[in-house]
Structures are given as structure tokens and as C-alpha cells.
Structure 1
Amino acid sequence: MRTGEPAVQPTAVILVVDTSVDDATTDTLLARQLVIVAGTLVLLLALAVLVLRLGLRPLATMADSADAIAEGHLTERLPTRGDRSETDQLAEAVNRAFDAQARAEAAVRSLAADTSHELRTPLSTISGWLDLHRQGGLTGPRLETALGHIENEVGRMRLLVEDLSLLARLDAGRPLEQAPLDVTALAASVVEDAHVIHPDRAITLTAVGGRARVTGDAARLQQVLRNLVGNAVQHTPVQTAVRVTVTTVPRRVQIDVADDGPGIAPQDLPRVFERFWRAEASRSRSYGGSGLGLAIVEAIVHAHHGQVSVESAVGVGTTVSVRLSPDPPRDSRSVDKGLRRGAR
């Protein structure tokens, strides 16, 4: 201000700040943050890919094993690590499914082999008699004998086919008839028929606990009783007594068919319900059976939601017990699949 000039009074103060330094700092910070975020995302993506690869490695191994099984290596199974993880539980479940399929296929092969074996004997007998007839070797009484043998063999094949057809229907879960019936009356009818067929055998019936009422298929349950009494008669000496006992208790009707015969060896007991199975001593083919009697018994009993068991001791005797519920099943149109153990 010059001397003598009037003083000037300021009306405003303007402050100016240089922001170029701050802008550069902010830009650098943002760039670094973007680089850090991008690097973190890349690292996380890489970790995710690695974790997925490690996690999916068991599935890839399982897929390779499944491909091997599909190519025909039926004994191959999915690997398991025993850590109870989700993939381990999946592998165990799939292995169980493969095992069940293998058992089913083995049962089918065994059934086909056993059926062909059972049919081979009567077919060979019929073929032999027919060849002899073509050669002129059957005349007079021999021709009647040959026709009798052929008729017997045809009857054996017809019975085998009917038994297999029944088992197939039970396996398929075909519905059985459901009607109230008296088990004691069915047993009395079977015992009466057995007396007519085997008049020299001591076959008795005992009823305990009042009327034995159940709901089921009368014809099939009567077939169960016939098979059990027939087995007891066929596989025991003539002097052996056969006892049929029908016991009624709350919520259960039990049928016991017991004999004092030679009994069944302990190693044979687990197999008595298998199809076509026979023990060497007590179930030989000389009796003419197909080896399906007890398999049919168990299939029919299971179809009625019941249980069947066998107790036997060598030299003491055998008892077959059938347990049925007096009440009808919840779904009277449904039946269980009777054989879950091959024949069982």
C-alpha cells in the first residue's frame, strides 16, 4: 500500500489448495486395491478349482470302476476310504446295489441250471422208452409198462412247471385272495387226506387255544400244510409219528408240524428253504420230489406276512413252525415278495 492511499478493506478470503498430490495418492490406492482384489479372486478361483478337483477325484475313480463293471468285470467294486464322507457312503450304497444284482443274477443262473437238471431226467426217460418203441422192442405188456413210465415222467414235469409258475407269481408280488378262514379246519382236511393216502402212518391233529381264525388264501395255506405233512411223511421211516398242532394265542396263530424222524444235520438247516436243494440222506430224488416244497411253503407264508422256521436235531426229529397274524395286512391286495434268499 502506498503512502497516502486510502486503506482497502478485504471483503473475502480465497484459499486455494493444490489437490494434484491427493488425486495421485487416491489413484494409486485404488489401483493397489483393484490389484489386491483381482489377485484375491484369482487365488480363490484357483483354490476352488483345486478343492473341486480333489473333492471330485473319488467320483472320477468311482466312474472308472463303474465303467469297468459295465465292460464285464463283475467282481469290480467302487473304492471306499472308510471316512464316512458323502462320496464314501455313495460308493458303499452303489456297491450294495451291485452285490444285490450279482446275487440276483447268480440265483437266476442257478435256477436255470437246476430246472434244466430236473427236466433232463424225465425227458431222458421218455426219450429212452420212445426209442425202444421205434425199434420194435415194446409189445404187449411192455408197451403198457412203458406208457405208465412215460405218464409218470410227464406228471413230474407238469408238477415242476406248476411249482415254478407259483413261485414266479409269488416273486412278482401277485395278490393272493384275502378271506376269513379257519386254520384248524384246513389242517383237519389235510390230515384226513394224509390218512387216506398213508393209512399205516400215525398222523395226529391237536388244536390249542380255541378257533384259529386268520385272513388269507385258503387254497395256498392248505398247500402249505400239505407240503409240510407230505415232507414229514416222505422223509421219515414208516413207524414215525407225525404231529400237527394248531395253537391260537393273542395276535398269532401258530402251526407246528413235528416228527420223531432222523432229523436234519445242523449244516443243512440254513439251506432247507433253497430251491431244488436236497440233503443227501433225507431228501433224495428217490422220493420223486422237485426240491421246491419248502421253498413254496416259505413263499406262501411270507405272502401272508407270516414267518416260518425249522428246528431239528439229528436222531431226535424235526419241527416246522408257521406263524400267522389273525389280522389281515393293511393292504389286502399286496403281498410280500416271498423269496429274498434265493428261495427264501
Structure 2
Amino acid sequence: MRIPTTGLTIVTSHQVVHASAVILTMRTDIDRVTVADFVSGQATSVGITLVLAFAVALVILRIGLRPLGRMADTADAVASGARGQRLPVHGEHTEADRLAVAVNNAFDAQARAENQIRDFAADASHELRTPLATISGWLDLYNQGGLTGPEDLGRALERVDGEVGRMRLLVEELSLLARLDAGRPLDSQRVDLQRLATAVVQDAQVVAPERVIDLDAPHPAYVSGDQPRLQQVLNNLVGNAIQHTPPGTAIDVTVQAAASTVRIQVADHGPGIPAEDLSRVFDRFWRADASRSRAHGGSGLGLAIVQAIVHAHHGTVRVASTPGSGTTVTVVLPCYDRTVTPARPDGS
């Protein structure tokens, strides 16, 4: 940079200089070294910071993923057969705890399903074993020459035919439950539950003429559904009330239509069901009184079939009971909707 300096005199030990201007200069090599040192320092600092951050992140990840590792080990143990083990939950309300609770719930649901399948298989085999044992016993008696007279042979054939009928009914009921569980479509048409209940009550009075069965169905009550299956619901409910109450116990059947639903109630005035048993009344093969049910030919599937059919018709069913005062089963079904096109049995 040149700066004019008129009249400037510079005196040295050797001479006197009259300067007309001053020129300022700067060493750029010093700046380059400074910048290079600065960049190098910053790069070193950034590198060290990244290394430390990576190390800290790795430690945090290892600590944070440690619960997931324990979960994986527990899941492997469960898959290997240790069905009783569950993922650890520390109660800290973290995402890992939420995941552990969800997986534990899934394991519990799987265990319940497996137990139900085992119980179902055991109960079904038990129900089939009883009539098979009876049939086998009569056949062995015949083969050993124990049935010589026509009366003995006729009695044996009557017993065998009865046990075959029990097995046929059980197989049909199991087949129906399997179809309903699979969600196969039912027939859908307009059904008058008033007429259906009237026919069921009339049939029940013929089968059990000593019973007083009152029907309260003053008006038509239309629903959309499968008429044979809905009739089976009413047959099972009235049949259960007859089978599981002492002779002479009155039974009340009510059919009431509301704005959007139809309610069916079957109430008896029998001994009722203990409170601890109410949660099991829809379980398959469960009986409050096994010996009495078998004496009347019951399989323990009546209410399970009722529940499955009602759910297939988008309805609800519940049981209320007071020991000593009787039991009431209430079924609620949607009313017939004229805007819905009835479905055919093939689902089309």
C-alpha cells in the first residue's frame, strides 16, 4: 500500500532521505501458517469429538439394548419349550417395558389357546369314549354268547343305537361349532321370532308335558338370519332350562321387539347357577352338574353353540343367575333391515 508523505525526511546514520511516499507491505506466509495451524487444530478437535461421541453412543446403545438381548434370550427359551418363562419387566414405563408387557400378553394368550385346545381334545375324546365303551361292552357280551334271547339282543341293539345317536349328535355339534368358528356365512332371510318361539314352546310342552312353559310374544319380531340355526338357539335354551331344573319348575319365554333390536329371554325358577360358575357357562363341554347332564344326554355344548350362533348373527348373549331364584338367558339380535340384501348360503 502506497501512502503519499510530502515533506517527510528520514535521517539515518549514513544519510538523510527525503521521502515522497511510504509503502506498507505484509508477509502472507505468516497468515498461511496461522490458517493451516487453525484448520489442523479444529480438525483434530472434531476428530477427537467424533471418536468420543461414537464411543459414548456405543456404550449407551449396549446398555440400552441389553433389555432387548434378555428379551431375545427369553423368547428363544420359550420357543425351545420353556412355556412358563416371561420377559422381564422393570416397571420403569419405558418402551422396552411396554414391549415386554405386550409380548408377555401374547405369550399368555398363546398359552391359554393351547390349554383350551388340549382341554377341548381331552373333553371331546372323553365324550366319545363313553358311548364307545358302552357299544364295545355290548358287542363283547354278544361275542361271548351272553345275549342269547331275542329280548336281550333287542335291548342290546337299543342301547347301541342310543349311544350311536349320542356320538352322531356330538359330531354334528362339533362340526357346527367348527363352521361357525371358521366364519362361514349363514343363510340370511327374514325370520319371525314370535312364530319360531311359539313352535319351540309347543314342541317342548309335548316333550315335557308336566312342565309349565309360558310364552310372552305378543307381536311379530323380525330379524335377518338363518332360521334353522335360530331355532336351534331357542331349542337349546328351552332344553337347558328343562334339563337343569327340578321337575315342575316353571319356565318363561319372552320375545320383545324394540326399535332396532329383538330381545329373547328364557328364564327358569330353578336352583340357579353359583356366581363362580357364571363365567364358564359358555365354555365347551363344561357342566355345572356333569352327572345330571349326561343322564339327560347333554354334551356340554348347548350354550357354546348358542353363543356361536348369536355372534354369527351379530348379536349378544348373556346369563344372569341368582342361586335359589333361577337363571335368565338374554339374547339380543338386530332387527330385520329391509335395505340389506339377504345373503345366500354360499356367501354370494
TM-score by length of 1: 0.88
Match of 1:133 among 142, 153, 177: 142
1:231 aligned partner? 240
| Structure 2 Cα separation of the partners of residues 152 and 286 of structure 1 | 12
| Structure 1 Cα separation of the partners of residues 301 and 202 of structure 2 | 23
Deviation at 1:12, TM superposition (A): 7.6
2:67 aligned partner? 58
For the pair shown, the structure with the greater C-alpha radius of gyration is: 2
| Structure 2 Cα separation of the partners of residues 333 and 73 of structure 1 | 50
Shift in alpha-carbon separation, 1:142–1:283, aligned structure 2, 3 A? closer
**Amino acid across the alignment from 1:217:** D
1:142 matched to 2:114? The reply is: no
Match of 1:109 among 110, 118, 141: 118
**Amino acid across the alignment from 1:212:** A
2:214 aligned partner? 204
| Structure 2 Cα separation of the partners of residues 123 and 169 of structure 1 | 25
Give the fraction of aligned pairs with identical amino acids, expressed as a percent.
59
2:96 aligned partner? 87
SS in 2 for 1:267: helix
| Structure 1 Cα separation of the partners of residues 223 and 91 of structure 2 | 48
1:170 matched to 2:177? The reply is: no
Q: Is the 8 A contact 1:216 1:328 kept in 2?
A: no
Shift in alpha-carbon separation, 1:166–1:281, aligned structure 2, 3 A? closer
Listed one character per residue, the Cα deviations across residues 229-274 of structure 1 (whole Å, up to 9, x for unaligned) are 1111112222112111111122221111111222222222221111
Shift in alpha-carbon separation, 1:271–1:330, aligned structure 2, 3 A? farther
| Structure 1 Cα separation of the partners of residues 337 and 107 of structure 2 | 35
Q: Which runs of 5+ in 2 are unaligned?
A: 1-16, 344-348
1:337 aligned partner? none
Q: Is the 8 A contact 2:243 2:293 kept in 1?
A: no
2:228 aligned partner? 219
1:157 matched to 2:167? The reply is: yes
Per mean C-alpha deviation after superposition, the further-off stretch among 269-278 and 322-331 is: 322-331
Per mean C-alpha deviation after superposition, the further-off stretch among 102-111 and 162-171 is: 162-171
Deviation at 1:284, TM superposition (A): 3.5
Q: Is the 8 A contact 1:176 1:333 kept in 2?
A: no
| Structure 1 Cα separation of the partners of residues 339 and 55 of structure 2 | 57
Shift in alpha-carbon separation, 1:307–1:283, aligned structure 2, 3 A? farther
Aligned residues: 328
Listed one character per residue, the Cα deviations across residues 83-118 of structure 1 (whole Å, up to 9, x for unaligned) are 333222222222211111111100000000001111
Question: Counterparts of 1:1-344 in structure 2 under 5 Å?
Answer: 14-139=23-148, 140-208=150-218, 210-280=219-289, 283-327=292-336
TM-score by length of 2: 0.87
Listed one character per residue, the Cα deviations across residues 36-69 of structure 1 (whole Å, up to 9, x for unaligned) are 0111111121122222222222211111111111
| Structure 2 Cα separation of the partners of residues 190 and 133 of structure 1 | 40
Listed one character per residue, the Cα deviations across residues 285-333 of structure 1 (whole Å, up to 9, x for unaligned) are 2111101111111111111111111122222222111111115599989
Per mean C-alpha deviation after superposition, the further-off stretch among 300-309 and 151-160 is: 300-309
| Structure 2 Cα separation of the partners of residues 304 and 186 of structure 1 | 16
Q: Is the 8 A contact 1:129 1:150 kept in 2?
A: yes
Q: Is the 8 A contact 1:235 1:282 kept in 2?
A: no
Per mean C-alpha deviation after superposition, the further-off stretch among 278-287 and 30-39 is: 278-287
Q: Is the 8 A contact 1:258 1:317 kept in 2?
A: yes
Listed one character per residue, the Cα deviations across residues 120-156 of structure 1 (whole Å, up to 9, x for unaligned) are 1111110111111111111221011000000000000
Deviation at 1:11, TM superposition (A): 8.8
Per mean C-alpha deviation after superposition, the further-off stretch among 96-105 and 86-95 is: 86-95
Q: Which runs of 5+ in 1 are unaligned?
A: 1-7, 335-344
Q: Is the 8 A contact 1:253 1:324 kept in 2?
A: yes
Shift in alpha-carbon separation, 1:57–1:206, aligned structure 2, 3 A? same
